[in-house]
Structure 1
Amino acid sequence: MKPQVFALWAALCAAMLAASCAPAPGGDGPLRMGEVAEPPGLNPLVFDNATVFYLGPLVHGYLLDADGEGRLIPALATAVPSIANGGVSRDGRTVTYHLRRGVHWHDGAPFDARDVLFSFAAVRNPNNAVPDRTGFDHVASVSAIDPYTVQVRLTQPFSPFVPSVFTMGANDPYPILPAHLLARKASLNNDPYNAAPVGLGPYKLVSWQHGAKLTFEADAHFWRGPPAIKRIDLESVPSANTLQTLFQGHQIDVLVARTTGGRVFYDAIRSVAQTHTVLKPHYEFDFVILNQAHPPLDDVRVRRALAYGIDHVRIMRELNGELFVPGDSDRLAGQFAYDPAIRQPPYDPGRAAALLDAAGWHLDGGVRKKNGRPLTLDLVSTTESPTTGRFDLLAQQQLAKLGIRASEKSYGYNVVWASAAQHGINQTGRFDVEYSGWQPNAVADHSYLFRCDTRPPAGDNLARICDPVIEAAARRELQAIDPAEEASGDRAISRRLVEQSDLIFLGFNREAVAYRDGITGIVPSVLGEHLWNVYAWKRTP
């Protein structure tokens, strides 16, 4: 998923499920939820927004869902295509989807292959402001073999294709859209549908009081069966502190303390009476970006000195407490391509100093200098994130002991992540070091963060890495048909990133999912997509 998952209110632990009214009754009473930021719309195809993606499973349907462990499971497609079941051809160039029969849109229209064909066309339509077309850019053709069979031909094998396309586990999880309502539209960017979607999900939007509340009602014809909870109210809540107070007062039902900066919030809600709190490891990995377009960070010795010189494990434990999960790469233990042999440099300021000396940066009056020029770095953080600011402060103190002058520069989240045309900090490269995070969802490939062809403004390789070893490993991974070969290429990328200290991996976190007694069926997700099975949630009197 795009970096909005590591977004403004994620950093404040504020993208939460909550409610802001009186205690909800049991039985058939509404489940009251809340968000500190109202979504700009409810069509994930044209809004690159964490809240829009997060709420998608309420309203929309996908070819494949992803369960609590991040595994793809059948949804509108009756099977996950693979070579073993014949859904993927042996040359990796053809993918076949068998569609579920008897499914209906919220307005009663039948779902079939026409909707899938239209959805592919909508993503590929250059008039639509689609956040990311990864996977779709490898499609040569899409055709309907019959009303319930769709065949996709690829320009070349692309190992992440199945998880990337119309699945709940995609980096950007786009849903299937209704051809009968949208096929004649030249563009969907400003279409009224975006604020009043007709979907295939378990709930349908019945009202939207902008700035106040969205109301969803269970679709009695949902293909998995009608949801037990008949109504969900999603209300705008002024702040994370307000959400915390409401949960403590039993005025909200379900709350999610997002990964980054969640320690204080978690400590406040974990002991609330008559509630349950579950910690779930999360695939989102945090890391320090080292901008290689800025000397001296183009020197591997300087980058490695930073890796030795910042005690990132201690800092992350201090920031996130029990929510912190150590990690030396972009993979959690047990995740695809995880390699326990990959280890980052441990905290060792002595070795850091030796590397800086070897690179020509010598201490002079307590400051590292080379040819009379001091070693200075700009550490970027976002004004909305106390976690990134606190990390920068602690790292700044440790770098000062090495003789490195590091200054913190804080910008608004929207300024940091704005496009190059809007002079965004990341896209224009106006930083040296930056704390960031990435939520990859179920897609195994992360090479788009590290390849030469994805350096800004062409993509999200914000460290500006361009390494022939990584390029070769990425080609091997992306064109692999054998999962073992795919994993081998992926591990080679991770090893090289650590060997070259292209960035500093900071580990992972657990998300705290809290809910009131009497609510059952909640299965927290390693992808952070905790609404993945909202259709199965129930509440008792």
Structure 2
Amino acid sequence: MKKLKHLLVGTVAVLALGGTAAHAERGTDGDLKALFWQAVSTLNPYLSGGTKEVFASSIVIEPLARYDEKGELVPWLVTEIPTVENGGVAKDLLSMTWKIKPGVKWSDGTAFTAEDVIFTWKYCTAPDGGCAQAAQYEGVKNVEAIDPNTVKITFTEPKPYPYSAFVGAQSPVIQAKQFKDCVGAKAPGCTAANFGPIGTGAFMVADFKPNDVITFKANPNYRDPAKPAFASITLKGGGDAASAARAVLETGEYDYAWNAQVEPEVLQTMLAAGKGRLEISFGTQVERINLNHFNADPSLGAKRSTKEAGPHPSLSDPAVRRALSLAIDRDIIVEAGYGQSGRATCNIVPAPEVVASTKNDSWCLKQDIEGANKLLEDAGWKKGSDGIRAKDGVRLSYLYSTSTNSVRQATQELVKAMWAEIGVDAELRNASASVFFGGDPASPDTFQKFYADVEMYTNNFDGTDPEKYLAEWLCDKIPGPANGWQGQNIPRYCNPDYDKLVGELSRTADLDKRAALAKQLNDMLTEEGAHITLVHRGDQSSFAATLEGIKMNSWDSQVWNIADWSRKK
């Protein structure tokens, strides 16, 4: 609570964000070797909501402000955080003004100006653009330039928490000159720009082979002449989480491996080699099973998983959704797959503490097979000779999809066995993470397409205020052909009462009331079965013992301060 009050009305100081070691010359530490076992498919985060794309692109393109490792908002390309007290946020909360730092340049040497900020807003809100980060710009009425270094944002109604657009790794500024011909329906076709965005970050793209390797080199126009310490980054994609972690912790071939989603006992064996370390921090990551509220029957063809397909024949039943959740033992899933980097949860908004609800813990956190069976029996779902429940010719048999990862496949097997105890069958399927999270509108296997009955993955939100994240479940955020399958409402959940409550949250200034509304929205999603939350996951990645300057960050991008990373001398 103190942090949020500080952001709204306090004076936010410009923080000096530095590594532990000073370097007199840029590029003295050679090549940083990084592994993303979920290979990166694009470097435009506006065309893919996947964490791998957001993180990789954040090495190059940056927001006006971002969240540090403590979850506190800090200025990045601007001189200070606008507040009511310093005059940057209007007293009526209808506008805010950002002051761009003087002398910021794009990597091509041209000036970064207010026009680039304006263009980014227009790009993401353009009709038919399929912007994956549209929720970040919810409620923005206009963005205008007061002068080349001053940007004014006007809101459609008072915005008590205005730090959304151009804040955090999910909402960076892109160069107007580079993307000017890539607006709206043209956006996915701008391959050169999407694969090689010009940025203001410490590194620039030298070469990009989609779903394979990205080569970055130090940006000669970066605003700090002594940074970055590394001359280049080689980011290899693909493989699996265990081999990526091993390449850092056990063999020492790589310096950094993102997302060590590996069984705890396996990681302990790797750590014994002494080549690296694990860094863990908890933010808002939640492993969840989305329940498709639309019919996903393959026989529906192009209508599959769209509104035209109609409601899901069994998951539209609240009793079924509740029973599926009751049948799951979350503690076993945490113990088997996450260890100290996981906690059982019933919340899609698990943090910070001020907005974390406990309302549903009493029924949700404890497995209840008997209660789940009774729910289904009372709702008319009867077991057949094969042990699978059915009603009116509809069987409780689901295609259960996720990305390829040993922990996720183990979780699938556990959930399948738990559901079998209540007469529910599951066909397990997994797709390469580079495809599953890739956002390719032509692929049938993306998590946005959701060509399955249920699917499992992790997602999170930037910063400590969940307003823009909770807006992702609005009715108009459902993915479909009209928006290039880029909407954030993956479960296809739609409740007008929920939409109204999100609107109320966006208009509420009192921080205690905001927290209460956030909990209420979280609880609606849990109680109505938009998804089944499983694990509050800590961010856990592998780092070479020789790396320093790391500030593990669960509120923004893990590589948010990569300009400060260096190798021990």
Q: Please, what TM-score do these two structures have when normalized by structure 1? A: 0.82
Q: CA deviation at 1:525?
A: 1.0
Per-residue CA deviation, residues 104-162 of structure 1 (Å, 9 max, x unaligned), is 22233333323323333333444756333224353332222223221111223456652
Per-residue CA deviation, residues 156-183 of structure 1 (Å, 9 max, x unaligned), is 34566522x22224xxx24323345555
Tell me if structure 2 keeps the 8 A contact 1:138–1:155: yes
1:178 equivalent among 175, 184, 191: 175
Tell me if structure 1 keeps the 8 A contact 2:59–2:562: yes
The 5-angstrom pairing of residues 196-275 of structure 1 reads 196-206=196-206, 214-219=214-219, 221-227=221-227, 229-236=229-236, 239-240=239-240, 242-247=243-248, 248-259=250-261, 261=262, 263=264, 266-275=267-276
Q: CA deviation at 1:403?
A: 2.9
Q: CA deviation at 1:491?
A: 0.9
The 5-angstrom pairing of residues 61-80 of structure 1 reads 61-80=62-81
| Residue equivalent to 1:166 | 166
Tell me if structure 2 keeps the 8 A contact 1:65–1:72: yes
| Residue equivalent to 1:20 | none
1:367 partner SS = coil
Cα distance between partner residues in 2 of 1:369 and 1:385 = 30
| Residue equivalent to 1:504 | 532
Whether 1:471 and 2:506 are equivalent positions in the alignment is no
Q: CA deviation at 1:96?
A: 1.1
Tell me if structure 2 keeps the 8 A contact 1:97–1:149: yes
| Residue equivalent to 1:400 | 420
| Residue equivalent to 1:14 | none
Q: CA deviation at 1:277?
A: 2.2
| Residue equivalent to 2:459 | 438
Q: CA RMSD in A?
A: 3.5
Would the alpha carbon gap of residues 176 and 478 (structure 1) be closer, same or farther in structure 2, given more than 3 Å must change?
same
Whether 1:57 and 2:58 are equivalent positions in the alignment is yes
Whether 1:120 and 2:121 are equivalent positions in the alignment is yes
1:85 partner SS = coil
The 5-angstrom pairing of residues 414-493 of structure 1 reads 414=435, 430-442=451-463, 444-445=466-467, 446-457=469-480, 459-493=487-521
Would the alpha carbon gap of residues 336 and 77 (structure 1) be closer, same or farther in structure 2, given more than 3 Å must change?
farther
Q: CA deviation at 1:290?
A: 2.7
2:428 partner SS = strand
| Residue equivalent to 2:338 | 320
| Residue equivalent to 2:149 | 148
Q: CA deviation at 1:536?
A: 1.6
Aligned length: 511
1:356 equivalent among 363, 376, 385: 376
| Residue equivalent to 2:109 | 108
2:58 partner SS = helix
Q: CA deviation at 1:523?
A: 0.7
1:461 partner SS = coil
Tell me if structure 1 keeps the 8 A contact 2:44–2:194: yes
Would the alpha carbon gap of residues 467 and 244 (structure 1) be closer, same or farther in structure 2, given more than 3 Å must change?
closer
Cα distance between partner residues in 2 of 1:298 and 1:319 = 30
| Residue equivalent to 2:7 | none
Whether 1:81 and 2:102 are equivalent positions in the alignment is no
| Residue equivalent to 2:407 | 387
Q: CA deviation at 1:285?
A: 0.8
Task: Please tell me the residue identity of whatever aligns with 2:65.
Answer: L
Task: Please tell me the residue identity of whatever aligns with 1:483.
Answer: L
The 5-angstrom pairing of residues 267-346 of structure 1 reads 267-292=268-293, 293-335=311-353, 337-343=355-361, 344-345=363-364, 346=366
Would the alpha carbon gap of residues 256 and 194 (structure 1) be closer, same or farther in structure 2, given more than 3 Å must change?
closer
Per-residue CA deviation, residues 11-37 of structure 1 (Å, 9 max, x unaligned), is xxxxxxxxxxxxxxx963332224456
Would the alpha carbon gap of residues 219 and 84 (structure 1) be closer, same or farther in structure 2, given more than 3 Å must change?
same
2:122 partner SS = helix
Tell me if structure 2 keeps the 8 A contact 1:92–1:481: no
Q: CA deviation at 1:429?
A: 6.1
Would the alpha carbon gap of residues 364 and 209 (structure 1) be closer, same or farther in structure 2, given more than 3 Å must change?
closer
Per-residue CA deviation, residues 482-505 of structure 1 (Å, 9 max, x unaligned), is 333332221111222333344321
| Residue equivalent to 1:17 | none
Cα distance between partner residues in 1 of 2:192 and 2:44 = 10
Would the alpha carbon gap of residues 268 and 242 (structure 1) be closer, same or farther in structure 2, given more than 3 Å must change?
same
Tell me if structure 1 keeps the 8 A contact 2:68–2:74: yes
Cα distance between partner residues in 1 of 2:509 and 2:247 = 50
2:324 partner SS = helix
1:119 partner SS = helix
Tell me if structure 2 keeps the 8 A contact 1:205–1:216: yes
| Residue equivalent to 1:98 | 99
Q: CA deviation at 1:388?
A: 3.5
The 5-angstrom pairing of residues 3-42 of structure 1 reads 28-36=29-37, 39-42=40-43
1:280 partner SS = strand
Q: CA deviation at 1:82?
A: 3.2
Q: CA deviation at 1:278?
A: 2.0
Tell me if structure 1 keeps the 8 A contact 2:68–2:556: no
Task: Please tell me the residue identity of whatever aligns with 1:331.
Answer: V
2:336 partner SS = helix
| Residue equivalent to 1:134 | 135
Q: CA deviation at 1:281?
A: 1.9
Q: CA deviation at 1:222?
A: 2.9
| Residue equivalent to 2:13 | none
Q: CA deviation at 1:67?
A: 1.0
Task: Please tell me the residue identity of whatever aligns with 1:506.
Answer: L
Would the alpha carbon gap of residues 34 and 464 (structure 1) be closer, same or farther in structure 2, given more than 3 Å must change?
closer
Cα distance between partner residues in 1 of 2:497 and 2:209 = 53
Would the alpha carbon gap of residues 79 and 300 (structure 1) be closer, same or farther in structure 2, given more than 3 Å must change?
same
Percentage of pairs with the same residue: 21
Cα distance between partner residues in 1 of 2:508 and 2:80 = 21
1:134 partner SS = helix
Q: CA deviation at 1:440?
A: 2.1
Cα distance between partner residues in 2 of 1:143 and 1:264 = 54
Task: Please tell me the residue identity of whatever aligns with 2:174.
Answer: L
Task: Please tell me the residue identity of whatever aligns with 2:124.
Answer: V
Task: Please tell me the residue identity of whatever aligns with 2:144.
Answer: S
Q: CA deviation at 1:295?
A: 3.7
Which sections of structure 1, spanning at least 5 residues, go unmatched? 1-25
Tell me if structure 2 keeps the 8 A contact 1:279–1:513: yes
| Residue equivalent to 1:534 | 562
